[in-house]
């Protein structure tokens, strides 16, 4: 799965890992606003790696959690989803608006191959100081460069360079951010 090869999501080991992540996300999503320490403790158990200062607003969902790494100062607003069937690496000081979805999971294009139950995944990388506006979707295999802003509602289907404003369906560079 992590190497990008086709895999069976119904594998007993993968099912057990997803159940563990569901247990932890359920506990996380049940916390109250006045329990920030409990939230962080659960996230440290759930995520593969995280910086010292992170905040995710419940509800939050993920597949495994262990394949997610987030840097210091990471913030994800309500209704975030990260499908981490491959590595999802998110840099420091990344901000995610409400309803941001990050997908490493994908499926074969051919129906006959999908019917076998095989799935695949491609890593997602998001650089430091990126801002993903509300309802942004980041697709499998995408890299977003540092200091980039992705406009709300965008669907990011291919790599986006550093230091740009990008948006749309599919997401495209609108302009460099060092331009006035």
Token pair recorded at residue 6 = 């086709």
* 107: annotated active-site residue: yes
Instruction: Choose the catalytic residue: 26, 93, 101, 107.
Output: 107
**Residues taking part in catalysis:** 107
């Amino acid at each position: 799965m992590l190497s990008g090869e086709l895999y069976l999501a119904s594998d007993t080991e993968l099912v057990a890992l997803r159940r563990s992540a569901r247990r932890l996300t359920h506990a996380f999503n049940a916390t109250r606003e006045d329990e920030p320490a409990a939230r962080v403790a659960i996230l440290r158990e759930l995520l593969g790696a995280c910086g010292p200062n992170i905040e995710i607003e419940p509800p939050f969902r993920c597949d495994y959690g262990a394949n997610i790494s987030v840097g210091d100062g990471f913030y994800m607003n309500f209704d975030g989803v990260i499908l981490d069937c491959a590595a999802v690496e998110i840099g420091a000081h990344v901000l995610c608006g409400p309803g941001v979805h990050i997908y490493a999971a994908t499926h074969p294009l051919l129906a006959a191959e999908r019917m076998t139950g095989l799935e695949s995944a491609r890593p997602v990388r998001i650089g430091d100081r990126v801002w993903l506006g509300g309802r942004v979707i980041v697709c499998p295999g995408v890299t977003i460069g540092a200091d980039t802003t992705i406009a709300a509602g965008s669907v990011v289907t291919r790599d986006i360079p550093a230091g740009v404003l990008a948006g749309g369906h599919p997401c495209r560079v609108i302009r460099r951010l060092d331009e006035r």
